[in-house]
Structure 1
Amino acid sequence: PTASTGFRRGSQVLPVLAAVLAVGAVVAGYVFYGLAGGATYADAAAARDRGDCTAAIPGYGLVSGMYELTLSGNVPRAEAERAECVAFVAASDAEAGGDFAGAVALNQEFRLAHPDTTLAPYVDDNVRRTYESWGTSLRSSGEYDEAVRVYRDLLVEIGDGPEADGVRGELAATLVEQADALRTQLPGLTGPALVDAIRDSTENLLTVQREFAETPAAAGVAQAIVDTYAAARTQTGCDALPLLDYAVGLPDAETAGVVGTANADRVRAQFDCGVARYQAGQWAESGTAFDQVQADYPNDPLVAQARANGIAAEVSEVTGSPQPLPGPYAGDNPGSIPLTLYNDNPAEVRVLIAGPTAHEVVLPGCPGCPAEYPSSVGACPSLDGKPSFRLTLPAGGYTVIGQYPSADPSVQSNLVESGFEYTNCLFVTPIPGQ
C-alpha cells in the first residue's frame, strides 16, 4: 500500500509541467507578435513622416489588420494615420493625372481635416508644385486668363517666401505672352472687337509695368505698348475713331508716347470722318464731327477748315442740298467785297454764310423793330440804327441762312461780285398759308 502512493504523485507532475510550457510558448508568441506589430507601425509612421505615404499605407494596413489582436494603442493610431495617407495620395494622384484643380481642392480639404498632421510641409510642397504645373499647362494651351489667376493664387500660397520672385516672373511673362498673342490678332479686327483686344493687350502690359517692374518681362513693355498701338492702327476716318477714343485716354506717362501719337491721329480721323459724312449727304453727322475737332483740338491747324466745313454742313442740312466745301476759316474779312448784315427784328438772329468762304454771325435784337412784317414789301424801310455786322468777302456765290429763335430759317442765294457793296437786312414774315 505504501509503495502505490508514491506512484500516484509522480503521474500528476507531468501534466502541470506541460501546461506551464504551453502557456510560456503562447506568451512568447504574443510578445513576438506585439513586437512585430509595433515594428510594422514604426516603419509605416517613419515613411509617413518623410512624406512617403505610398510606402506607409500597406504597413498601416497590417497594423490594423494582421496585428489588430495585439490590442495595442498603435492600432487606432495606424487607422487614423492611414486615412491621412490615403487622402494625401489621392491629391498626389490627381496632380499626376493632370487634374490640377482637383488636386488643389483635395489638398485644401486635407488641410482643413488634418490641421496638425506631420504631412503639412509635404502638402504645402504639393500645393505649390500643383499650382506651378497647372500654370505651365494653361500657358501652353493659350488659356492665359486662367494661368494668371493660378499664378496669383500661388503668390497668395507662398506669401513673401523665397519662391515669390520666380512666381512673379512667371506671372509677368504670362501677361506679356497674352498681350503678344492679342497683338497678332489686331490687324484682322474692327469696331468693338478691335477696341476690346487692344484694351486687353495694353492693360496686361500696364499691369506688368505697374506690379512687376522688377521682372525680366518688364524690360520690353514700353516697346510692346508702341507696337500694339501700331498693329491696331490700320483704319482711317470714322472707322478709326473707336480705337483712337480709347487710346487717347491711356495714361500718357506710362505709354511711351502713344497718347500723343493717338491724339494726332484722332484729330485727322475726326476731320476725315466729317468729310466722308459730308460727301455721303449725312450733313448733321458731318457737322458733329467738325464740331468735335474744334472742341477737342482748338489749337490744331485743321480747326480753321473744320470750322468752315461745319458751317457748310449746317447750311446744307437747312437747304437740303450740298454746298461746295469752302476754304478754311480766316476771319470775317477774307476778301475785298463789302457785305453788311442788318437785323430788323426784336430777337437776335444767327446768320450762316457758305460759299467760297464760310461765316457765322450773331446779330443782337433790334429794340423797337416789329416782330413780324405782313410781307416783304415795306420791310426794312430804313437801316439806320439797326444792329449790323460788316464782312468783306471774295467774289462768288453764297447761301445765306437767317435763324430766329421762333421762326423758320430764311434761305437766300446771293452772287457777290467785285466793284459792288452789298447789304442784307433780315426780318420775319408770316409763313405762307399759316
Structure 2
Amino acid sequence: RLTGLQRAPLALGLGLLLLVVPAGGVVLYDSARDEATQQMLLDRLDEADELVQAAGDRPFDSAQADYRKALGVYADLRSDHSGSRAAERVPARMKTYYTTVGAAYAQGDYCEAVEPLKYLRTVPKSLPGTDLGALKTWPDDRLATSLYECASTALTAGEANWGSQYGELLTTFPESEQAAKVEPAVAAAVVRTEKDLHGAEPCSAVQRLRTLGSQIDGLEAGQADIGAALDKDSRRATTSADTGTYTCGVDQYRDGDFESAQTTMTEYASAHKTAKNAGLAKKIAIAAEIAQTVPAAGKKLPTTRTGGSISVTVQNDSPDAVTVLFTGPVTGSFTLKACGSCKAYSFSSTINPSFEPCNDSGKNYPQRTISLPVGTTFFLHKPNGDSSATPASDTAKLESGYIYTECAYTTQSLGSGL
C-alpha cells in the first residue's frame, strides 16, 4: 500500500503534462496560420505593385484596366484586412501609383496626361478612410496645366478640340492661374488669324475666323469677367470675318475662280450695304459672272469708274426680259423689259447672211443707252426667268467717233433649248 500511494502523485503529474502539451500546439498553430495569412496578403500587395509597374509601360487607354485592378487590391487590403502589414503599406504604395499613372505629365505630354490625371482625381473615393495626404490634390494643378497646354496647342494649330478643353478648365478650375490665361490666349488667336486676311489665303482666314467665333461662343466661362471678355473676342472674330469676305472675293477673282468670286461678292454686298467696298463688290460680282462665259473679261479687276464719251444703245428683240451685264473700263448692269411682239428666231434664220435682228420698224424694242469709255467692253446678255437658256456674249472694241448698238435676241437651238 505504501508503494501504491507513492505512485499516485506521479501518475497525476503525468496526466497534467499530457494536457498541457496539446494546448501549446494550438498556440503555435494559430501563430503559423496568422503568419501565412500575412504573407499571403503581402504577396497580393506585391502582385498589385507589379501590375502597376507593368501598366506604366503602356498607354493609359490600354493600361487603365490594370490600374483599376491594382487599385481594387489596395482598396480590399485597406477595407477587409485593415490590421494587416500589407494594408499598412498601401498608403506608401500610392505615391508610386500616382506618379506611374501620371507619368505623361512629367514627360511634358500634356494631351496624353489629361485622361490619366482625371482618373487619379477619382482614386480617393476608392480608398475611404485612407490618409493620402498631398496625393489627394496631387492631380489638380497638373490637370489644369495639361488642359491649358493641350488646348493652346490645338488652338494654335487650328484644330477643333481646344474649345472643350478650355471649357473644362474654366468650369473645373475657375480660380486657377491656368484659367486666367485662357481668354488672353483666345484673343491672341483672333489677332493672329486677322493678320492672315492679308496673306496668301484670305478665304481660309475668313473661314477660320468664323469657326473661331462659333467656338468661342460655345465656351462656358467659370467667371463673369472672363465670360464678358470672351464674348468680345467672339464678336471681333465674326466682324473681322465679315470684313475679310471682301478680301476673299478679290483673291478668288484674281485666282480665276470666278464662280466663287461672284457668290462671295454678291453675299458681301447684300450683307454690307453701307460698307465702303459694297459698290465695288457689286461690280466685281458682275465682272466675275461675265468672266465665267468670257474668261478674258476677268483679266483685270473692275473699278468704280463710271461714264464715258461713247454712246452705246442696247435693244431687246426677245420675248423675255433680259439682263445686260458689261465690264471693261466701266462695269455695270441693267435690265430690259421683254418685247411683247417679239419671238425666238429659228437657228436657220440666224445663219442667213441677211439676218439682222432689232431691225423691224414696226416694233417698239425696249432699249437703253449708256455712255462708255474708249477700249474693250465685254457684254453678257442673259434672259430672266429661264434657267435653261444660254447667255450670249459680245466683245466690243469701242472707238471714238462712232455710235454703237447692241441687240439682244433669242435663238431656238436645233434641240429644244434657247
Q: Same fold (TM over 0.5)?
A: yes
Partner of 1:173: 145
CA gap 1:168/1:328 in 2 versus in 1, 3 angstroms = farther
Determine the structure 2 residue equivalent to 1:48: none
Deviation at 1:124, TM superposition (A): 9.3
CA distance in 2 between partners of 1:166 and 1:272 (Å): 50
Give ranges in structure 1 of 5+ residues lacking alignment. Answer: 1-5, 41-61, 66-77, 187-193
Greater C-alpha radius of gyration:
1
**Compared with structure 1, are the counterparts of its residues 346 and 116 closer, same or farther at alpha carbon in structure 2 (3 Å cutoff)?**
farther
CA distance in 2, matches of 1:90, 1:202: 41
In 2, distance between residues paired with 1:227 and 1:429?
A: 59
Does 1:426 pair with 2:418? no
1:31 aligns with 2:23: yes
- Closer, same or farther in 2 for the Cα pair 1:86/1:347, shift >3 Å? same
- Find the counterpart in structure 2 of residue 400 from structure 1: 379
Q: 2:323 aligns with which of 340, 350, 363?
A: 350
Whether 1:221 and 2:182 are equivalent positions in the alignment is: yes
Note the C-alpha offset of 1:316. 1.9
Aligned to 2:107: 141
- Contact 1:311 1:358 (C-alpha < 8 Å) held by counterparts: yes
TM-score (norm 2): 0.70
**Residues 200-239 of structure 1 aligned to structure 2 (within 5 Å):** 200-230=161-191, 235-237=199-201, 238-239=203-204
Asked if residue 309 in structure 1 is aligned to residue 284 in structure 2, the reply is yes
State whether residues 312 and 371 of structure 2, in contact with CA within 8 Å, keep that contact through their aligned partners in structure 1.
yes
Match of 2:334 in 1: 361
Distance verdict in 2 for CA 1:112–1:166, change over 3 Å: closer
- Is the Cα–Cα contact under 8 Å of residues 308 and 373 in structure 2 kept in the other structure? yes
Residue in 2 that maps onto 1:10: 3
Seq. identity, % = 19
Identify if the C-alpha distance between structure 1 residues 228 and 401 changes in structure 2 by more than 3 Å, giving closer, same or farther.
Answer: closer
Query: What CA distance in whole angstroms lies between the structure 2 residues aligned with 1:398 and 1:383?
Result: 30
User: Quick check: 2:190–2:209 contact (8 Å CA) kept in 1?
Assistant: no
Shift of 1:354: 0.8
> Which fold has the larger relative contact order, with Cα–Cα distance below 8 Å and residues 6 or more apart in sequence?
2
Give the aligned partner of residue 251 of structure 1: 216
Amino acid at match of 1:309: I
Q: Please give the root-mean-square deviation of Cα atoms over the aligned residues, in Å.
A: 4.4
Cα distance in 1, alignment partners of residues 328 and 277 from structure 2: 19
Measure how far apart 1:388 and its partner are. 4.3
Cα separation, 2, equivalents of 1:260 and 1:134: 44
Structure 2 vs 1, CA of residues 231 and 135 (structure 1 numbering), >3 Å: closer, same or farther?
farther
CA distance in 1, matches of 2:366, 2:93: 85
Structure 1: how far apart are the matches of 2:241 and 2:53?
Answer: 53
What amino acid is the match of 1:227?
Answer: A
Given that residues 326 and 356 in structure 1 are in contact (C-alpha distance below 8 angstroms), is that contact kept between their aligned partners in structure 2? Answer: no
**Cα distance in structure 1, aligned partners of 2:123 and 2:362:** 87
Cα distance in 2, alignment partners of residues 170 and 306 from structure 1: 51
Inter-partner Cα distance in structure 1 for 2:39 and 2:113: 34
Q: Is the 8 A contact 2:317 2:342 kept in 1?
A: yes
SS of residue paired to 2:181: helix
1:353 deviates by: 0.8
Structure 2 equivalent of residue 21 of structure 1: 13
Match for residue 55 of structure 1?
none
Mapped to 1, the partners of 2:164 and 2:362 lie a distance apart of 65
Question: Structure 2 stretches of 5 or more lacking a match?
Answer: 57-62, 218-227
1:318 is displaced (CA, Å) by: 0.6
Match of 1:54 in 2: none
Counterparts in 2 of 1:188-203, with a 5 A limit?
A: 194-196=157-159, 199-203=160-164
Q: Find the aligned partners of 1:385 and 1:142 in 2 and give their Cα distance.
A: 82
Cα-to-partner distance string for 1:83-124 (whole Å, 9 max, x where unaligned) = 555434533454477748434322236658997554799799
Inter-CA distance 150–317: structure 2 relative to 1 (3 Å threshold):
same
Kept in 2: contact 1:345–1:427 (CA 8 A): yes
Mapped contact 1:316–1:323 kept (Cα < 8 A): yes
Q: Is the 8 A contact 2:312 2:369 kept in 1?
A: yes
Q: Is contact 1:168–1:215 with CA below 8 Å preserved after alignment? A: no
Name the counterpart of 1:379: 358
Q: Does the aligned pair in 2 maintain the 1:148–1:175 contact within 8 Å?
A: yes
Aligned amino acid, residue 195 of structure 1: G
Q: In the alignment, is the contact (CA less than 8 A) between 2:297 and 2:328 conserved in 1? A: no
CA shift digits 1:46-102 (9 cap, x unpaired): xxxxxxxxxxxxxxxx2257xxxxxxxxxxxx74x7655543453345447774843
3-state SS of 1:381 partner: coil
Flag the 1:173–1:272 CA change in 2: closer, same or farther, 3 A: same
Q: Residue 366 of structure 1 contacts residue 386 of structure 1 at CA under 8 Å; is this kept in 2?
A: yes
Cα shift at 1:403: 1.6
Report how far residue 320 of structure 1 moved.
3.5
Contact 1:326 1:357 in 2 (8 A): no
Q: In structure 2, how many angstroms separate the alpha carbons of the residues matched to 1:128 and 1:64? A: 26
C-alpha contact 2:249 2:261 (8 A) present in aligned 1: yes
CA 1:216/1:282 → structure 2, altered by over 3 Å: closer, same or farther?
Answer: closer
Contact 1:128 1:154 in 2 (8 A): no
Q: How many residues align?
A: 377
Q: Deviations over 1:362-400 (max 9, x none)?
A: 334332321226334253425965444555545543111
